[in-house]
Amino acid sequence: MPERRNPGSHFAKICHHLVYHLSGATGTAQTVNPAYNNKQQQENKYRRDKIRFHVNISAQILPLPTPKSNRRWSCRTALAAKAPFQLRWALMTRFDLAALRAVYDLPFFDLISRAREVYRANWPEHEVQLCTLMSIKTGGCSEDCSYCAQSAHYSTGLEREALAPVATILETAQRARANGSTRFCMGAAWKGISEKDAKFPQVLETVREVAKLGMEVCVTLGQLTPEAARQLRAAGVTAYNHNLDTSPEFYPNIVTTHTFDDRLATIRSVQAAGMSVCCGGIIGMGETEVDRLKMLEVLCGFDPAPESVPINCLMPMEGTPLSEQKAVDIFQLVRLIATTRIALPKARVRLSAGRTRLSKEGQALCFFAGSNSIFYGDKLLTAANPGVDADRSLLEALDLGITEPKPLAV
């Protein structure tokens, strides 16, 4: 019997034995391996060649690592082990790193089939939400995020633009609604904003106007004070996008002008103000697959769970330190989407930046694995996005519906 990476409760151990024998598994499951600190090895050796503890999917028996944060779950885990798998997933509230790795490392087709089942159980409409992005203040940002064209630390050739007038933003939002978007997300290249900033009243006014259109109103303005968060909520913001972007450990390699903990503090203010949290990350910045799962582990610890999780593939921007990064492997992207879908069943998993480098077939796999939202329109904030015609015909070819806008209250 292999040593499990997360042995869990006594009952869970028994289950693991049972699973092992029923599944006819061979080889050894991996204990936490110090070699994972070696990036090269992590990239090359991680996963399938080392972890051979296959669960018997057809018998729907999956090892259930006990969530480490709360022992009372071991009893629920025990219950869950006998329940149909949907119920088991529902009872497994918090996925820790070991659990996420066990899921992520499933044989590819088992993983995406499982993710599909979780998706269908939680999102019976089979619809994709269209979200339109608008950069309402562009470039000149004080932060040094290595991926970002808007950072003032790099010469990216991007033209700076001051905060757009309310009327301009409102027109764009109206067009977005007419084109089928049910969410409008306004992004500003700021380190953050506080209620004391001179431009804050204009931001609030913009939000009030856009909120009248009946779409979900999302903003991403950088760090927030608790009071700014409260006022944004009162003005009509429904969701705040603030990404963790990567694991806590890898974060300092990407950004030095603020910390991972600063990000978490803003997310706490957003939650306290009653806005939904839209929080995800970027893959393809030189991080390992384990870093991606560590980020997901942090997301899984949020209470309440994030309402939406954008998964961006790095778009290498000229002049930034990450301009030469290679494209992400499509199967790694699909694995991450599937794992996110399973770990956070109710979240919108947004297939976000980087779709211009994905094939139609690659995107189809992402939708199959559970992503159910895209950014829609020729432009993201500053970077290119697939054209609306291409997106419409892709969704049509895949028989995917589009989340309908709510009728406007008269």
Q: Is residue 366 flagged as an active site residue?
A: no
What tokens were used for 382? Answer: 């500053």
In the block, tokens 């950072």 appear at 151
Q: Is residue 114 flagged as an active site residue?
A: no
Which one of ligand SF4, ligand SAM, ligand DTB, none is in contact with 314 (Cβ closer than 5 to 8 A by kind)? ligand SAM
Residue among 145, 279, 300, 313 flagged as catalytic:
145
The least CB distance from residue 134 to ligand DTB, in Å, is 10
Over the window 253 to 282, marking each residue x when it contacts ligand DTB by CB under 6 A and - when it does not, the resulting string is ---------------------------x--
Cα–Cα dist 121/115, whole Å:
10
Question: 215 and 179 in contact (C-beta within 8 Å)?
Answer: no
Q: Is residue 175 flagged as an active site residue?
A: no
148 touching ligand SF4, by CB under 6 A: yes
Q: Is residue 185 flagged as an active site residue?
A: yes
Q: Which 169-208 positions form the footprint of ligand SF4 (CB under 6 A)?
A: 189, 191
What tokens were used for 67? Answer: 């969530």
Cα–Cα dist 21/50, whole Å:
19
The least CB distance from residue 362 to ligand DTB, in Å, is 18
Q: Is residue 131 flagged as an active site residue?
A: no
The least CB distance from residue 385 to ligand SF4, in Å, is 17
What tokens were used for 134? Answer: 């608008």
Q: Which 196-235 positions form the footprint of ligand DTB (CB under 6 A)?
A: 220
Q: Which stretch binds ligand SF4 (CB under 6 A): 8-16, 94-102, 124-132, 147-155?
A: 147-155
What are 373's strand-pairing partners?
A: 129, 350
CA-nearest of 130, 137, 140, 212 to 170 is 212
Which one of ligand SF4, ligand DTB, ligand SAM, none is in contact with 151 (Cβ closer than 5 to 8 A by kind)? ligand SF4
Question: Taking each helix axis from N to C terminus, what angle separates 388-397 and 360-368, rounded to the nearest 10 degrees?
Answer: 60
Which of 96, 105, 143, 297 contacts ligand SF4 by CB under 6 A? 143
Which one of ligand SAM, ligand DTB, ligand SF4, none is in contact with 285 (Cβ closer than 5 to 8 A by kind)? none
| Backbone torsions φ then ψ of 217, nearest 5 degrees | -110, 115
What are 216's strand-pairing partners?
A: 183
Which one of ligand SF4, ligand DTB, ligand SAM, none is in contact with 386 (Cβ closer than 5 to 8 A by kind)? none
Over the window 208 to 227, marking each residue x when it contacts ligand SF4 by CB under 6 A and - when it does not, the resulting string is --------------x-----
Other beta carbons less than 10 A from residue 212's beta carbon: 13
The least CB distance from residue 265 to ligand DTB, in Å, is 19
Residue among 185, 279, 300, 313 flagged as catalytic:
185
Instruction: Say what the alpha-carbon torsion angle 236, 239, 242, 245 is, to the nearest 10 degrees.
Output: -160
How many residues does the structure list for the chain? Answer: 410
Which one of ligand DTB, ligand SAM, ligand SF4, none is in contact with 242 (Cβ closer than 5 to 8 A by kind)? ligand SAM
Q: Which stretch binds ligand DTB (CB under 6 A): 252-260, 296-304, 380-388, 395-403?
A: 380-388
Q: Is residue 47 flagged as an active site residue?
A: no
Question: What is the per-residue burial (b if ≥16 Cβ within 10 Å, else e) of 110-130?
Answer: bbbbbbbbbbeebbeeebbbb
Question: 354 and 314 in contact (C-beta within 8 Å)?
Answer: yes
Question: 259 and 249 in contact (C-beta within 8 Å)?
Answer: no
In the block, tokens 């080392």 appear at 50
Question: 232 and 273 in contact (C-beta within 8 Å)?
Answer: yes
Does residue 304 have a cis bond before it (omega within 30 degrees)? yes
Which of 150, 246, 247, 308 contacts ligand SF4 by CB under 6 A? 150
| Interface ranges with ligand DTB (CB under 6 A) | 133, 149, 185, 187, 220, 241, 243, 280, 310, 312, 315, 352-353, 380-383
- Annotated catalytic residues are 141, 145, 148, 185, 218, 278, 350
| Interface ranges with ligand SF4 (CB under 6 A) | 141, 143, 145, 148, 150-151, 189, 191, 222
